[in-house]
Amino acid sequence: MSPAARPRIDGAKLRDQLEPVVTALGYDLEEVTAQRAGSRQLLRLVVDGDGGVSLDDVAEVSQAVSAALDEAGLMGEAPYDLEVTSPGVSRPLALPRHWRRALGRLVEVPLTGGEGEGQSVTGRITAADEDGVELELPGKKPGTKGELRRFGYPELGHGRVQVEFNRPGAKDDGPDEDDVDDAEGLVDDLDEDDDLLDDEAQDADDAVPARHEDEQS
């Protein structure tokens, strides 16, 4: 079957099928995307957890998801590459668990209700629960702490973590490891997108890099 004749993979359906698999391992499935790369399909999963996601965690999820895909035949007969990754700091803070896992990070967030609606506020997350978040606002003088202010989630839009290379509370005085990884990840994503465009033009079966690959015959 030619690539053009193959049916498009339904990302929403895949999410419904795979979310219980990821949840059973103790992680949250944040995102599922499927796209064609030449004659193959590239399936990307973004997963997260309260303690973060290590390389061993990624391998565990990859194995479980791969087995579920094969058992249920969710990818059909099309060859595919499976990539499992964790969210970077560029991921919008949209859910209570996102805010909770960003504790200690500096964020910028638009105000969508209450006093200051239509403006944005920048502050460091000092607490977060199911109802709202507490931010430490900047002090009047550079480098000083300001007031603590609590916001309910209905008052806030999606928060954006700010990249910091000397974040307070980091393990050392060097660049923040998470922020460096995220910056490198952005470059990797751009390189990978270029590769995918080349694949589509050349229809090269084995040209797509992936952290974990599984293929059905």
**The domain spanning residue 79 has which CATH number?**
3.30.300.70
Q: Rounded distance, CA 94 to CA 183, Å?
A: 21
Tokens coding 54: 């290590």
Same domain, 138 and 110: yes
Q: Residue 118 maps to which CATH number?
A: 2.30.30.100
Same domain, 69 and 141: no
Same domain, 10 and 83: yes
For the entire predicted model, the pTM comes to 0.69
Same domain, 130 and 73: no
Q: Rounded distance, CA 148 to CA 153, Å?
A: 16
pLDDT of residue 103: 94
Same domain, 8 and 84: yes
pLDDT of residue 11: 67
Same domain, 85 and 191: yes
pLDDT of residue 170: 62
Determine the 3-state secondary structure of 76 from DSSP: coil
Same domain, 53 and 109: no
**Domain total of the chain:** 2
Whole domain around residue 149: which residue ranges? 96-161
Q: Which tens digits make up the pLDDT trace of 5-21? A: 455 666 678 889 999 99
Q: Does residue 63 fall inside a structural domain?
A: yes
Q: Which tens digits make up the pLDDT trace of 147-205? A: 999 999 999 999 999 988 877 666 554 444 454 444 444 434 444 445 544 554 444 44
Q: Report strand pairing: 80-85 vs 40-48.
A: parallel
Rounded to an integer, what is the distance from CA 73 to the centroid of its chain?
Answer: 26
Q: Which tens digits make up the pLDDT trace of 122-147? A: 999 999 999 999 999 988 887 778 89
